[in-house]
Amino acid sequence: MSTKKNTAKRSRREFLKTAGIVSAGMTGMLATAPAVHAVGSDVIRVGLVGCGGRGGGAVVQALNTEGPTKLVALADAFENKARTLLPRLKENFPNDVDPNPFVLGGLDGYKHAIDAVGPGGVILLATAPAFRPLHVEYAVNKGVHVFMEKSFGVDAPGVRRIMNAGKLALVKNLKIVGGLMSRHNVPLQRAIEQLHAGMIGERISCWAYRMHGPVGLGPRRADESVLAHQIRNYSNFTWLNGSFLLDWLIHNLDVCCWAKGTLPVSAQGMGGRQVRTEKDQLFDHYAVEYTFADGTRLFAQGRHQAETWGSFQSTIHGTSGCAVIGEGITHPRIFKGHNPDVAHLLWEYKDSPPKDQYQIEHDVLFDAIRNDKPVNEADRCCEAAMIGILGRMASETGRVVTWDEAMNSTTELAPGLDTLTLDSPAPVMPDENGNYPIAMPGVTKI
């Protein structure tokens, strides 16, 4: 197998800094599955859909994998973002970018990018989460391997589309890896192994935190439609990102359930806009109590308010100890007792510094393609998304919502996404004062 000769390879961190980009988952049929990449060549064709911070990071990792790659297409709702990214990629990866790649704009650009990559290639999907299901579905139908950033849909119908695409990917021998980078974090993997081996006894409670300052909202530009404004600020609109709880806490929600070893069966919670005045849909605080089948709990707290206590981690309590792990914790530790005091340290990661977890995601994907290894993270990613969706539904309605209710929900936050164009009205419109509808516990329905 060929290895890369490009001496200009750059890390994701280095590239993002230089580029100025801000970062804010049958048997019989398998016998006839297609080749895993282009026949007669070990060059893997790559396309990128979504050229913001997440996309810029993902394409760096993809081009830094072992073996020859060729970036052949870039697409973004806003074509100028793709055109701005392209010269930086050419400068830093001169041997891995096609001399004349497709550069595409509009909400249908993803189709042309996937078509340009072709069967056996890889598409990197890093747009607003609302669009992930239709992009994944189209890629799998076209025989293209997928890297999909989180989150993986914003509602149950969208998540089910990805689950179905994942099943089809198995039939077609296609590989799918999702952007739950914590799952590829080696120190965290070792910590979870210790928890599952019983180091702190039975896991009896889990806590997921993401508490920090306010999430900003960019101004609507003079020449910009309401829809374009919302897409450019997708973190602020529920139909696009599925809520702060889903899109910003997904990793630590997933880590807690990974540590527990199971998924919740129900949730109840609360949330609202206590101090936020920006003209968007964001709750500025969430608190959700998830219940597991054995009666133990996962508690999630999400807040983005100025001058408040901050925390970014997962904490796991067992019958004899506790662990501080998860996104935001670079050095996971396990302790005797329930106070994470260094004097009671039981375990910490002491091996050599691991490879970057973001790079590992792509290494896993491209190695699976080149060596025909079974990799399909679609179900795992969809489960992580549904944890957040379940919590959002419970908080925004004020109800106890079961996992099955949430998973079987037919409510779409933005019906008709497949036919949406930049000239369409936004799925959610402001009133005459520029204010958007906000979920109201006790009023909003699931």
User: What mean pLDDT do residues 346-365 have?
Assistant: 95
Residues with Cβ within 8 Å of 416's Cβ and at least 6 positions away in sequence, in order, are 427
Max Cα-Cα span within the chain = 61
Q: Which two tokens stand for residue 79?
A: 């074509």
pLDDT at 24 over 50: no
User: What mean pLDDT do residues 345-355 have?
Assistant: 92
Summarised one tens digit per residue, pLDDT across range 148-179 is: 999 999 999 999 999 999 999 999 999 999 99
- Residue 279 CA to residue 143 CA, distance in Å, equals 41
pLDDT range class, residue 4, cuts 50, 70, 90 = low
User: What mean pLDDT do residues 378-404 have?
Assistant: 98
Question: Which fold does the domain 188-353+386-419 belong to in CATH?
Answer: Dihydrodipicolinate Reductase; domain 2 (3.30.360)
User: What mean pLDDT do residues 93-117 have?
Assistant: 98
pLDDT of 352 reads 85
Q: Which two tokens stand for residue 95?
A: 């041997």
pLDDT at 130 over 50: yes
Residues with Cβ within 8 Å of 373's Cβ and at least 6 positions away in sequence, in order, are 175, 367
Per-residue CA distances from 423 to 72, 74, 106 (Å): 27, 21, 10
Summarised one tens digit per residue, pLDDT across range 374-383 is: 999 999 999 9
User: What mean pLDDT do residues 137-143 have?
Assistant: 98
Summarised one tens digit per residue, pLDDT across range 41-81 is: 699 999 999 999 999 999 999 999 999 999 999 999 999 99
**Level-2 CATH architecture, domain 12-182+358-378:** 3-Layer(aba) Sandwich (3.40)
Q: Concatenated DSSP letters for 363-401? A: HHHHHHHHHT---B-HHHHHHHHHHHHHHHHHHHHTS-E
Q: Which two tokens stand for residue 49?
A: 């859909």
Per-residue CA distances from 319 to 120, 192, 205, 254, 297 (Å): 49, 16, 9, 21, 14
Considering the entire predicted model, what is its pTM? 0.91
pLDDT of 27 reads 30
Q: Shortest CA distance to 123 belongs to which of 177, 168, 78, 165?
A: 177
Residues with Cβ within 8 Å of 261's Cβ and at least 6 positions away in sequence, in order, are 196, 203
User: What mean pLDDT do residues 119-131 have?
Assistant: 98
pLDDT of 353 reads 86
pLDDT at 25 over 70: no
Q: Shortest CA distance to 246 belongs to which of 405, 385, 438, 395?
A: 385
Domain boundaries, the chain: 12-182+358-378, 188-353+386-419
- For the chain, give the percent of residues with pLDDT over 70: 91
User: What mean pLDDT do residues 359-371 have?
Assistant: 98
Count CB atoms within 10 A of the CB of residue 112. Answer: 17
Q: Say if residues 328 and 252 touch (Cβ distance below 8 Å).
A: yes
User: What mean pLDDT do residues 264-287 have?
Assistant: 97
pLDDT at 338 over 90: yes
